[in-house]
């Protein structure tokens, strides 16, 4: 399997954890030195460092049964991936965000995730 195929499979498993609300599926996907640059609070976001901090954020999002994560596009090149998504967090017509995550993997685990939201 090529490196890009391995990255694509890792991203599929990562995204599925959010789409089907399986937070425990994330545990084996995150490296010990993972870093997230989160989309909130605006405008700079928050930087999370380490596996436990990253898992706490992602598991909370994946566990939220009243939300919906919709993939718009996933692009993979070697150890990098770009994920365009839509996240619905409520029942109203404007209760959603669109954004993108820039991901990097190493040795079959996520080591970096930089998230950005589409502004108005």
Domains and CATH numbers, the chain: 3-117 (3.10.450.50)
Residue for token digits 């599925």? 16
Q: Quick one: pLDDT at residue 1?
A: 63
Question: Taking CA 56 as the corner, what is the angle to CA 79 and CA 43, rounded to the nearest 5 degrees?
Answer: 75
Q: Quick one: pLDDT at residue 41?
A: 86
Measuring CA to CA, how many Å separate 28 from each of 1, 10, 23, 59, 68? 19, 10, 11, 12, 22
Extract the residue ranges of the chain whose pLDDT is less than 50. none
The pair of structure tokens assigned to 91 is: 């029942």
Q: Quick one: pLDDT at residue 120?
A: 54
């Amino acid at each position: 399997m090529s490196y890009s195929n391995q990255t694509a499979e890792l991203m599929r498993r990562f995204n599925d954890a959010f789409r089907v609300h399986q937070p425990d599926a994330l545990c084996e996907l995150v490296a010990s030195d993972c870093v997230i640059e989160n989309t909130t609070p605006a405008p700079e976001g928050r930087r999370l460092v380490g596996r436990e901090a990253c898992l706490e954020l992602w598991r909370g999002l994946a566990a939220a049964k009243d939300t919906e994560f919709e993939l718009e596009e996933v692009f993979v090149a070697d150890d990098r991936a770009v994920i365009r998504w839509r996240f619905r967090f409520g029942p109203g017509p404007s209760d959603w965000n669109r954004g993108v995550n820039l991901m990097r993997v190493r040795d079959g685990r996520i080591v970096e995730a930089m998230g950005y939201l589409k502004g108005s």
